[in-house]
A = this chain, B = another copy of it.
């Protein structure tokens, strides 16, 4: 009985190891896809597009804004050097924020840190475009 149990244990362990390999392979593939995410992407056009001071102030404001706790990940960017007819590279700053869901994004909109950011920085930009996306 002891021997049978041990064999069964070894068998189960091997099966688990094989199953584990498949699960690992599958997750390696699937982790490339972001799921269950609310993508909030904002593009800012500065009033004074050549002002390094205004750019710094906006970036500093966004860094403070990133403290909002519902933000899972963020990226502060500038236009890349790519250039094709379909590319809009005219903006000054890209602000990409990932939330877990719409409720977290809604709460960010009214977070005191966000309201303070708008109060302190809104005079810097002449145009903002926002794209909010959720899983298909």
Q: At the interface, yes or no: A132 with Cβ under 8 Å from chain B?
A: yes
Cα distance, A69 to B10, chains bound together (Å): 37
Cα distance, A85 to B69, chains bound together (Å): 25
How many copies of this chain? 2
Q: At the interface, yes or no: A77 with Cβ under 8 Å from chain B?
A: yes
Q: At the interface, yes or no: A19 with Cβ under 8 Å from chain B?
A: no
Q: At the interface, yes or no: A121 with Cβ under 8 Å from chain B?
A: no
A4 to chain B, nearest CB (A): 45
Residues in B neighbouring A38, C-beta threshold 8 A: 80
Cα distance, A99 to B119, chains bound together (Å): 34
Of B31, B87, B128, B134, the contact of A86 (CB 8 Å cutoff):
B128
Residues in B neighbouring A106, C-beta threshold 8 A: 82
